[in-house]
Amino acid sequence: MRKRPYSPFACYQLRDANGDDAGSIRDGVYRGRDFQVTPLTPWDGVVRSVDVDPPELLMRSNRGGVILGTRVVFNSGEVLHLVPLPRGEDPHRAPRIEDADQYRVLLAAQELAEDAGDVERAAGIGIRLDLAAFYECPRCHNDATDREACALCQGDGFVWEGIEESSSSTLPAPPLR
């Protein structure tokens, strides 16, 4: 289970403080509001998130900002909000879990595989969990003693990636399918 809202395998619409479109991040590739595709510039930047916490936005090899929760904070001080979008159907990739019930089933399947000693199967399920539209609850941290009383995750131990504990308001609910 992921520990933070940002997923390098997700699609995000970026919104400025007024709610206007300010670009996108798709599979870790950043394209700004005024992005123009040319043969030499297929993107504005990339997000480096492996072994980096918080994830960094690199723009032509220079660090342009960081992703903090559901916000992109640029070195210039500009702050944009990440609004998760459905990834869409891609026949070359496993479908991204965007349904809470399916996510619960995968969590249970991973636990059963671990209990049975099937490390390979548990690892494969873990990859699917990392790709999902949910992450570990930032308030109870999926701790069995705190989870049941947690108002943020309502006992699930996980929350949808558009929710961040530090903000009093949340992003819109995940899209219905």
- Other C-beta atoms closer than 10 Å to the C-beta of 94 total 10
What is the number of domains present in the chain? 2
pTM value surpassing 0.95 = no
Q: Is residue 94 part of a domain?
A: no
Domain closes at, from 51, 85, 119: 85
Q: Is residue 38 part of a domain?
A: yes
Q: Which residues of the chain have pLDDT under 50?
A: 167-177
Q: Which domain holds residue 67?
A: 11-85
* Alpha carbons within 13 A on the beta-carbon side of 168: 0
Give pLDDT, residue 44: 82
Q: Is residue 175 part of a domain?
A: no
Pairing assessment for the beta strands 79-85 and 71-74 based on DSSP bridges? antiparallel
Q: Are residues 67 and 104 in the same domain?
A: no
Cβ-Cβ contacts under 8 Å for 35 (sequence gap 6 or more): 23, 43, 44
Give pLDDT, residue 131: 80
Domain closes at, from 34, 54, 85: 85
Distance CA 151, CA 128 (A): 26
